Chain A
Amino acid sequence: MTDLFVARDLCKRFGGLQALRNVDVVQRAGETLGMIGPNGSGKTSFVNAVTGELALDSGTIDFAGRDITGVRPHKVARAGLARTFQAVRIFARLSVRDNLQTAMLVLDDAANSLEAEERVELLHWLKLDHRLDAVAGSLTLFEQRRLELAMRLMMRPQLIMLDEPVGGLAPGEIRAMMQILNELKARCSIFVIEHTMRVIRELADRVVVLITGEKIADGPPVDILKDQRVIEQYLGTAHA
């Protein structure tokens, strides 16, 4: 299997706080990679650093065989690495349709823009087709998360990084979202952050555990669950 995404030795410090400490992460093509860790352990910072939102102190990032270290966010997105935000981010005052059409601009000039049928199918799958004229800010959180996802898929990403995609959802919605994410695997590779093990165990082929900016474990979910350090430092609190 080839490496889709390689982060080497990432370091980031905010004043006196070391948010990322020599973090190495490799994601292979076709693999779903999970990242867990308690709040404040640096998961969002990791995604921000990878997608160019955050300038690294040191380290390198390769994506699809290209060095994307220090590349600005819009170029990372154009290269096929999309990301969502922990606090859902949509154009709240615009209609769902305008949100989607804005996201489609990226491929407007490229030849590989989504065909009309593909768009219809995508919106049908995410159950957004009846909400196109609604103001995006008036959607429920679950609908907003689906809209966010649809906007990214309009860009035909190779890899999508999801920052706590089930955060704030009701239990029934979480199950529906898990199903969506399982189906999403057929469309692109997934990197998913969660701070509960339950979601990761179901979705991910492999898990990276981050604690206070340091990677302390990396392996299949079953092994991670048995890892003594993970149990001690993290799982005990997360299950509470």
Chain B
Amino acid sequence: MRRYLRSAITPQLLLLLAAAIALAVVVSGNRFFAFVLGITMISILWAAGMNLLTGYTGLVSLAFAGIAGISAYGTVGLVMRCGWSFWLAMPVAVLGAAVVGVLLGLPSLRLKGFYFALSSLVIQTVLSLGFVYFIGLTNGDTGISQIPPPDIPLTGVSFHGIGFDLLLTFAAWLSLAATWAIAHSPFGRRLVAIREDEVLAEAIGIDVIRNKMLVFFVGSLYAGVGGALYATYVGFASPRSFDLLSSLSIWLMVAFGGRGTFMGPVVGALILAPVPFMLQQYDTLKDVIYGALIIAVIVLMPGGVYGTLLAYVRRLPSLKRYLSKQRGGVPNDGSVRRS
């Protein structure tokens, strides 16, 4: 695994980190823009995890936000009630959420495409109901407010302002580096094989069930880390933060940017995460725009913005050699894919 982790530290990724840090510093003067950027960073992290499930493995998990919620409530509970440090509470809650993610995924191990998405939708609905129902843990619909930000261990102070923004920036970057490493590892290859043809994957010795359980676990880790950061960044957690619409909007970032491409979900998150803030006054309009985008992406650009761009660029012979070395993505010929 070391080899793949080292391969994750590429010039492109370092450039990405530098750009993100620069952006965080530039907008830090304006709290509103800084906040939008912070949420965008969490969205990138979530989109990276969703991309592993949806893009690489071909499993549309609409329970993603629900898993994030389990981790968020878990972290908040351990910090606010038990007085744990965020840095102890978060890993415990994330691991718990990942185990729940695997357990909830077990019944849908044999499902594919639409049926998998449908079963994950049911799971999300149940989780959403759970968040409302277990008032003792979640404070129900009212939500939990005044959630403290993560502490900086041994200093007695907490992350705030640009410090927190940079923490989110780094977390987002780390998630991308991890996705890069996975995409270039044998595990990533197995996931792509499962996405392309499960029967063939088994015939060449790939344990489909085991690898799906693994990707449920890893994907849930992304969801969980994002959930814990989200709740502490916003300072508020309610069932609405982790509902079906949240899952859908994370999926949309991935699909809009380009499923199964490394940069696609980043592009998708950068474009779509700020949208709700721009349209704060027009709440209904926001939903209409989201709906229209979902349909537009599915019909017009099955490869997503970045994926479609990549397909054009790939036709240029000079870039072909360079790009052919990048794997994992779906070779996009513009045709509508089965999913």
Contacts and interface: CB of A to CB of B under 8 A. Distances in A.
A108 interface: yes
A91 B196 contact: yes
A76 to B, nearest CB: 9
Interface string B224-262: 000000000000000000000000000000000000000
Contacts of A103: 204
B192 A94 contact: yes
Contacts of B204: 77, 82, 102-103, 105-106, 151-152, 155
A101 B202 CA distance: 15
Contacts of A108: 186
Nearest to A154: B204
A94 B324 CA distance: 11
Contact of A105 (B190, B203, B330, B331): B190
Contacts of B203: 51, 73-74, 77, 82-83, 85, 89
Contacts of B207: 72, 74-75
B200 interface: yes
A135 B331 CA distance: 8
Contacts of B197: 89, 91
Given A94-B331, A95-B331, A133-B324, A72 B202 contact: yes
Nearest to A91: B196
B206 A74 contact: yes
Contacts of A106: 204-206
A138 to B, nearest CB: 9
A94 B206 contact: no
B205 A155 contact: yes
B186 A105 contact: yes
Interface string B163-202: 0000000000000000000000010011011001101111
Interface residues of A, number: 30
A2 to B, nearest CB: 24
A53 B190 CA distance: 19
B46 to A, nearest CB: 26
Interface string A56-83: 0000000000000000111101100011
A74 B192 contact: no
Interface in B286-339: 324, 327, 330-331, 337
Contacts of A102: 189-190, 192-193, 201, 204, 206
Nearest to B327: A98
A90 interface: yes
Contact of B205 (A77, A95, A98): A77
A111 to B, nearest CB: 16
A215 B49 CA distance: 52
B208 interface: yes
Given A77-B202, A135-B331, A105 B208 contact: no
Contacts of A53: 199, 202
Contacts of B186: 105, 108
B207 to A, nearest CB: 5
A53 B201 CA distance: 12
A90 B200 contact: yes
Nearest to B193: A102
A100 to B, nearest CB: 10
A93 interface: yes
A94 B194 CA distance: 12
Interface of B: 186, 189-190, 192-193, 196-197, 199-208, 324, 327, 330-331, 337
Given A89-B200, A106-B206, 6 more contacts: A74-B205, A85-B203, A91-B193, A94-B331, A135-B331, A155-B205
